[in-house]
Structure 1
Amino acid sequence: MNHNRPGAGPLTVTVLVFPGVRLLDVTGPIEVFTSANDLGGRYRVRIASEDGAAVITSAGTRISADVRVDDVREPYDVLVVPGGPEWETLLKDDALLEAVRRLHGLARCTASVCTGAFLLAGAGLLRGRRAVTHWRQSRQLAVRFPSVRVEPDAVFVRDGPMMTSAGVSAGIDLSLALVEEHWGARVARAVAKDMVVFMQRPGGQSQFSVRSQVPHSRQETLRRVLDAVAENPGAPHTLATMSRHAGLSVRHMSRLFDEEVGTTPARYVEQVRLEAAQVLLETGDDPLPVVARRTGFGSAESLRRAFVRHLGVTPGAFRSSFRTTGAGRATANSGEREEETEQDGQA
């Protein structure tokens, strides 16, 4: 769908709203499309609600609607389905799901933001398709809708005419991708610069997830092993060492991890070490080699490879992105940023 041609008319974007919708899920995409109008794109954005009335968002803010769902009768370009924190309740709203189906039937492209993916899935629109939602709800989406191929680390996913995006601000990433598709990279880049956001953010949403807790296990022996790894990730937790401490054979230990944790011992240990390193990078000033030794990676190079493999960013970039917003650091800490960059390069 390439509309980047002379004389092309404005593209119509319909944003569905409903009581309890998340505010930024709505305003983020709208801001992208309306900003594009000043920078080389042409969009007509309208807000639709079931009855055409205003709705109260989850933030308590009132949003007015431009049109009733039933009054949308002509084909148009993009449908945006936002989410809301009470997505489980929304899935029981048959009228809302029917509104999603009706608007989708007239749209050339249907896109969801955050938990809006549940509404698309509940409406039967994601069967057999790849999709993403907020990292907190990825597992629920996969369990409730097993025909949906959930990609938990993606920021946004396109599968045919369907697009889904991850948590909240990822709706901006998705909308920028649509602007690029419609009007070209130059316009999308201008919008991203105007909004002071990444045109394509580094890494996936794994880097935003909370620290994983020690998995629950029915096996007391395995629980003790999992606890020991979590409490001291820097210790030498090889399969042989863990098996010996538990009084189990290597084969038995591997089978327990597969059955109870759903991964291998080596992968579990690496994940715990990765999360421990994230905490140190966010909260401390230790150089990367020290962080690597304290968390069991041994060297800054091993730490760097693990970060790039799992999170899509280097340790130095992670520290710069997540320790602070940067307010008040402009000149005083420029040397610190240079040091982190140099360390990362050496890693």
Structure 2
Amino acid sequence: MRDRLMAVVGYDSAELLDIACVTTTLAMANRLGNPTRPYRVLLAAPGGGPIVCGSGLTLHSQQTLERLVGPLDTLIVSGGVSFEQAADDPRMVAHVRRLAGESRRVASVCTGAAVLAAAGLLDSRRATTHWRFASRLAARHPAVTVDSRPIYIRDGNVSTAAGITSALDLTLAFIEEDHGAELARQVARDLVIYLQRPGNQAQMSLFTAAPPPRDDLVRQLVDHIAGHPDGDLSTSALAARAGVTRRHLSRLFVQHLGLTAGQYVRRARVEAAAHLLVSTRLPMAGIGARCGFGSAESLRQAFTGHYGIPPSR
């Protein structure tokens, strides 16, 4: 049987991790699984020249994008700090569109979604990208339903992964589809990934939060909330701790965080629960108790309201 030809598209200032997360994961699947149809990975670039990544390191491409022809198993477009220039390059976009028509699967990593969108490959589809750039993608391409919450989305034969290392999760999903769940798990273990995350898991805002508030009092309370999610975090208790009135406390939280104290506490507890769900084997009731929820059911309701999926997912 012939190899599975996986073409990764890079360009100047592409993100090295966007590329390496894909290529390393596929190479490890070949080593661990010895599949009957191994992956053959090609890094293609416009003009076939070297790719100076955003980190300053240089990768040598293996194929000229303009001369690459199908059939391809999978076409994967990487992101990078110059993604808008890539998406505005008519030749780059035209060749991606051409190759997509010769590929079984098409995918993007991070801001590479902008190139797929410019090629019209995301029209009338759900897609994701790095949370920082989701609103920009949605504004430029109204025909695309942009959802910044999942770590990756698969809509038909087109997949989009969110920020950078979510490429690991999407590539593992491809390996599971191609060669079964056991090989995907073996690769995840060798990559020292503690969990093979489902695509509909949210880009946890616990890890993508805004900088700490500038106000010293609010920052101290935020630190206290993060360290004591199972404590008494009522507005009255927090106001007493800060030595201010409940009304003044709420005003400070809205001013510096855009949420009331009660809303912030609820969000912090849900995010703490999400972290425990993906990093421990604690039962739901135990997670709920550690995060200040009275029961597993109250955790389920809060989690579903915040992330749009139940914690069991």
Q: Does TM, normalized by the shorter one, top 0.5?
A: yes
- Go from structure 1 to structure 2 and tell me whether the alpha carbon gap of 1:106 and 1:70 turns closer, same or farther (over 3 Å shift): same
Matched, 1:40 2:38: no
Pick the aligned partner of 1:17 from 2, 10, 17: 10
Pick the aligned partner of 2:20 from 12, 20, 27: 27
Equivalent position amino acid for 2:161 in 1: S
Q: Percent identity, please.
A: 32
Name the residue aligned to 1:274: 266
How far is 1:173 from its partner? 0.7
Name the residue aligned to 1:305: 300
- 1:1-347 → structure 2 map (5 Å cutoff): 8-38=1-31, 39-41=33-35, 42-198=38-194, 200-201=196-197, 203-208=201-206, 210-211=208-209, 234-235=234-235, 271-277=263-269, 292=292, 299=294, 304-305=299-300, 308-309=303-304, 310-311=306-307
Q: Which TM-score applies when normalising by structure 2?
A: 0.71
Distance (Å, rounded) in 1 between the aligned partners of 2:234 and 2:20: 44
Which structure 2 segments of 5+ residues have no match? 212-221, 226-232, 237-246, 248-258, 276-286
Q: Which TM-score applies when normalising by structure 1?
A: 0.64
How far is 1:160 from its partner? 1.3
Mean Cα deviation higher: 143-152 or 8-17? 143-152
How far is 1:129 from its partner? 0.4
CA contact (8 A) 1:135 1:209 kept: no
- What are the superposed Cα offsets for residues 265-314 of structure 1, whole Å, 9 maximum, x if unpaired? 9xx776522344479899xxxx976964xxxx7x4758733663225697
CA contact (8 A) 1:53 1:65 kept: yes
How far is 1:126 from its partner? 0.3
**Which is greater in Rg?**
1
Distance (Å, rounded) in 2 between the aligned partners of 1:40 and 1:143: 44
Name the residue aligned to 2:283: none
Distance (Å, rounded) in 2 between the aligned partners of 1:85 and 1:300: 44
Equivalent position amino acid for 1:305 in 2: R
How far is 1:195 from its partner? 1.1
CA contact (8 A) 2:9 2:75 kept: yes
How far is 1:100 from its partner? 1.8
CA contact (8 A) 2:28 2:187 kept: yes
Which structure 1 segments of 5+ residues have no match? 1-7, 214-229, 237-244, 246-264, 315-347
Distance (Å, rounded) in 1 between the aligned partners of 2:175 and 2:291: 41
Distance (Å, rounded) in 1 between the aligned partners of 2:124 and 2:50: 34
- Go from structure 1 to structure 2 and tell me whether the alpha carbon gap of 1:143 and 1:269 turns closer, same or farther (over 3 Å shift): farther
Partner SS, residue 304 of structure 1: helix
Partner SS, residue 51 of structure 1: helix
- Go from structure 1 to structure 2 and tell me whether the alpha carbon gap of 1:303 and 1:134 turns closer, same or farther (over 3 Å shift): farther
CA contact (8 A) 2:188 2:196 kept: no
Partner SS, residue 101 of structure 1: helix
Partner SS, residue 79 of structure 2: coil
Mean Cα deviation higher: 160-169 or 103-112? 103-112
Distance (Å, rounded) in 2 between the aligned partners of 1:36 and 1:61: 25
CA contact (8 A) 2:108 2:161 kept: yes
Equivalent position amino acid for 2:235 in 1: A
CA RMSD after TM alignment: 3.6
Partner SS, residue 124 of structure 1: coil
Partner SS, residue 84 of structure 1: coil
Distance (Å, rounded) in 1 between the aligned partners of 2:188 and 2:235: 44
Equivalent position amino acid for 2:73 in 1: D
Distance (Å, rounded) in 2 between the aligned partners of 1:105 and 1:269: 51
Distance (Å, rounded) in 2 between the aligned partners of 1:117 and 1:271: 33
